[in-house]
Amino acid sequence: MGDNPRVMTRPHRFSDIADRFLTRRALLQGGVAAAALGFTPVGRIAGAPARAETPGLQFEELGRIGKDEPTHHVAPGYRAEVLISWGDPILPGAPAFDPMAQTAEAQRKQFGFNCDFIGYLPLKDGAATTAEHLASGESAHGLLCVNHEYSTPRYMFPGMKNSEAVAANSTPETIAVEKASVGHTIIEIRKSGGAWSVVADSPYARRIHAETDMDIAGPARGHARMKTDADPDGVRVKGTFQNCAGGVTPWGTILTAEENIQNYFTGVASKLPPENAREAASADSFSVGGRLWMWSTFDKRFDINVTPHEFNRFGWIVEIDPYDAGSVPKKRTALGRFRHEAATIVAKDGKPVVAYMGDDQSFEHIYKFVSARTYAAADVAANVDILDDGTLYVARFNDDGTGEWLPMVHGQGGLTTENGFDDQGDVVIDARRAAKVLGATETDRPEDLETDPITSRTYVAFTGGTDRKEAAPAAPRAPNRRGHIVEILAPGSDGDRDHTATDFQWDILLLAGHPEAETNAQGKYGPGISDAGYFAQPDNLVFDPKGRLWIATDGADEIGLADGLWACAVTGPERAVTRHFFSVPVGAELTGPCFTPDGETLFVSVQHPGQGDGGSFAEPVCRWPAAMDSAMPPRPSVVAITRDGGGPVGG
């Protein structure tokens, strides 16, 4: 494979980063003169005044909620109502949910399992084109586009109380139900009298799942390593799954991210023949091998030893047009293949489109894609396929608060035939290995990346939970038990930053964890945080229209808290002063927070409620959203949150 160059930097001690963090806090509040920090990375980053100060949050904070609470809670003055749950009818002719008699035919017409990312796109009555819908900014009528990450058979089917029972009782029909339960759902929704509901039999309604036909687009289209007996041309693939986070494009499409694809594949990489050496290396990189799901028992395309190229056909960003129910989803291979978490688009008229992405695994990387063509704001159709041609980059963070975007281009930086890359198709298929050849920074599980609509700064949620032995740039704690959020500043000033540039600066917004925990797990926030304001393991991020950052968690239970949603300003005196807003029931995590354009509704996904040690379909730890005395199993659901009397969520 050739050399694996590394950038040698001074080790980052936690005390160094904590001092730097606290000094930045003082600077932002006016307690330290900027001149005193003029020759430090913090001084350079913080010295430019914000174009517009983030307004503070104006809601009464939700108190601290313990991890064993059987239902959800929201801040006083707000209501949180379940909009749709697993099994609810979506398509015409769909039956009502019957957990005791599920079929694949029914599930393909019903809302899927384990909802995650949510995207909202406006619908205007009487509009004839996507451009008209988008321009309307309609916030009471729209399309809700929802990911379904993975199936969990022991909570989906009776009689599957543990992994042994799943192995013994799985059948072709239960596997078909699982395949139909993942992927993506598009529904039409409308708000009336302050309440949201799903529009029945909508022409936009759609279920996309593990058997849906999709096109392969970009540099891996037709590549030798994408060809299978079922698709000898390497241009068409069945399905998408492990759809975690995603993004919404300004031209009216949804980007859904394929993340932990390895969980549905089995096989032994070392038994692959020499001609599949690259497939073996890829399978090892993704940790294929364990039998977490039973799909390969009944469908050999999920066995890497039978169909070694099939695995290469997953791990991509998939683009979907929700305004056209007959459109074919496209896997955009120019954006690279890895455990995708998010695809956040930054687009400015007349400039290339930028997509920020993370690879959610310990010691993996942050990426961005810059399109070759420029974005045309006034011509939606001109942006079709704009994500198929451009340059993929991977981030290197330096110890001095600067960073570089390294181009992932065949023939450059060691991405050559000698190192196992014969063309750009190989580079994108093996993006993880290419990133390491280039010497990109290994990070602590980068999950969501979001760009502030006011300042144009970009934020990365590092969920943490890693066994890092030494601290490093952008990873100040070893081990990193609780996660943190990093701020990336492209060149320019707030509100006018050049996201196409190959250099950047970075700083830390906050370190998650209890403020009084031991050193390597201690949280660091803005001054004045309440006893309910701290959290652990940040995951999904979203900005509201006023530029406040909302942070979902996946792992707060490790410090005794229910997972949920916190919010903070990112500039001004309330920077990083996080406040608790919403909590999910026991066993669940909160995912996919999404605002309507007017900011008056916040949609969230409640994923895997009721799941816990020893739990099952028959004996979950809760039955949310039903009562515990119900016969219904727990059901992942989307919740709509609005303010009593109306008005923007968060004030």
Q: Tell me: the pLDDT tens digits for 131-157?
A: 999 999 999 999 999 999 999 999 999
Please report the beta strands in 14-114, taking only residues with DSSP state E, as ranges in sequence order.
Answer: 73-74, 78-85
Q: Residue 411: inside a domain, yes or no? A: yes
* Rounded CA separation 488/367 (Å): 12
* Average confidence (pLDDT) over 74-78: 98
* Rounded CA separation 39/34 (Å): 10
Q: Residue 276: inside a domain, yes or no? A: no
Q: Residue 575: inside a domain, yes or no? A: yes
* Average confidence (pLDDT) over 443-461: 96
State yes or no: pLDDT of 44 exceeds 50: no
State yes or no: pLDDT of 49 exceeds 50: no
Other Cβ atoms within 10 Å of 273 Cβ, number: 10
DSSP 183-196: EEEEEEEEEETTEE
* Rounded CA separation 277/275 (Å): 6
State yes or no: pLDDT of 309 exceeds 90: yes
**Confidence grade of residue 520 (pLDDT, cut at 50, 70, 90):** confident
* Average confidence (pLDDT) over 352-362: 96
Q: Tell me: the pLDDT tens digits for 534-570?
A: 999 999 999 999 999 999 999 999 999 999 999 999 9
* Rounded CA separation 168/159 (Å): 10
Q: How far is CA 40 from the centre of its chain?
A: 33
- Tally the domains of the chain: 1
Q: Tell me: the pLDDT tens digits for 284-306?
A: 999 998 777 999 999 999 999 99
Question: Which pLDDT belongs to residue 614?
Answer: 87
* Average confidence (pLDDT) over 444-460: 96
Q: Residue 146: inside a domain, yes or no? A: yes
DSSP state of 473: T
State yes or no: pLDDT of 438 exceeds 50: yes
Question: Which pLDDT belongs to residue 16?
Answer: 52
Residue with tokens 């420029």: 374
Question: Which pLDDT belongs to residue 20?
Answer: 55
DSSP state of 297: H
Please report the beta strands in 97-194, taking only residues with DSSP state E, as ranges in sequence order.
Answer: 115-122, 141-148, 183-192
Query: For the chain, what percent of residues have pLDDT higher than 70?
Result: 92
State yes or no: pLDDT of 114 exceeds 70: yes
How far is the CA of 129 from the CAs of 77, 125, 136, 337, in angstroms?
38, 11, 11, 32
- The SS3 assignment for 332 reads strand
Question: Which pLDDT belongs to residue 596?
Answer: 98
State yes or no: pLDDT of 359 exceeds 90: yes
* Average confidence (pLDDT) over 495-512: 97
CB 398 within 8 Å of CB 7: yes
**Confidence grade of residue 29 (pLDDT, cut at 50, 70, 90):** very low
State yes or no: pLDDT of 15 exceeds 70: no
**Confidence grade of residue 11 (pLDDT, cut at 50, 70, 90):** very low
Q: Tell me: the pLDDT tens digits for 578-634?
A: 999 999 999 999 999 999 999 999 999 999 999 998 899 999 999 999 999 999 999
Cis peptide before 219 (omega within 30 of 0): no
State yes or no: pLDDT of 333 exceeds 50: yes
Determine the number of helices (DSSP H) and then strands (DSSP E) in the chain. Answer: 11, 33
CB 178 within 8 Å of CB 156: yes
> Can you give the CATH number for the domain in which 241 is found?
2.120.10.30
Question: Which pLDDT belongs to residue 52?
Answer: 58
State yes or no: pLDDT of 9 exceeds 50: no
Q: Which domain holds residue 103?
A: 14-259+315-643
Residue with tokens 């997953």: 314
State yes or no: pLDDT of 366 exceeds 50: yes
How far is the CA of 438 from the CAs of 16, 113, 223, 357, 609, in angstroms?
28, 38, 23, 17, 41
Q: Residue 299: inside a domain, yes or no? A: no
The torsion region of residue 372 among left (phi > 0), alpha (psi -120 to 50) and beta comes to alpha
Q: Residue 468: inside a domain, yes or no? A: yes
State yes or no: pLDDT of 40 exceeds 60: no
* Average confidence (pLDDT) over 78-97: 98
**Confidence grade of residue 519 (pLDDT, cut at 50, 70, 90):** confident
State yes or no: pLDDT of 432 exceeds 80: yes
Residue 62, both tokens? 């939700």
Sign of CA dihedral 608, 328, 426, 226: positive
Question: Which pLDDT belongs to residue 176?
Answer: 98
DSSP state of 569: B
Question: Which pLDDT belongs to residue 508?
Answer: 96
Angle among Cα 188, 79, 624 to the nearest 5 degrees reads 80
Q: Tell me: the pLDDT tens digits for 159-177?
A: 999 989 999 999 999 999 9
CB 136 within 8 Å of CB 130: no
Residues 6+ apart with CB under 8 A from 573: 28, 29, 56
Question: Which pLDDT belongs to residue 289?
Answer: 84
Q: Tell me: the pLDDT tens digits for 239-268?
A: 999 999 999 999 999 999 999 999 999 999
Q: Residue 4: inside a domain, yes or no? A: no
State yes or no: pLDDT of 203 exceeds 60: yes
- The SS3 assignment for 617 reads coil
Query: For the chain, what percent of residues have pLDDT higher than 90?
Result: 89
Q: Residue 428: inside a domain, yes or no? A: yes
State yes or no: pLDDT of 1 exceeds 70: no
Predicted TM-score (pTM) of this structure: 0.93
Q: Which of 241, 424, 254, 474 is nearest to 345 (CA)?
A: 254
The mean pLDDT value of the chain amounts to 92
* Average confidence (pLDDT) over 384-403: 97
CB 368 within 8 Å of CB 355: yes
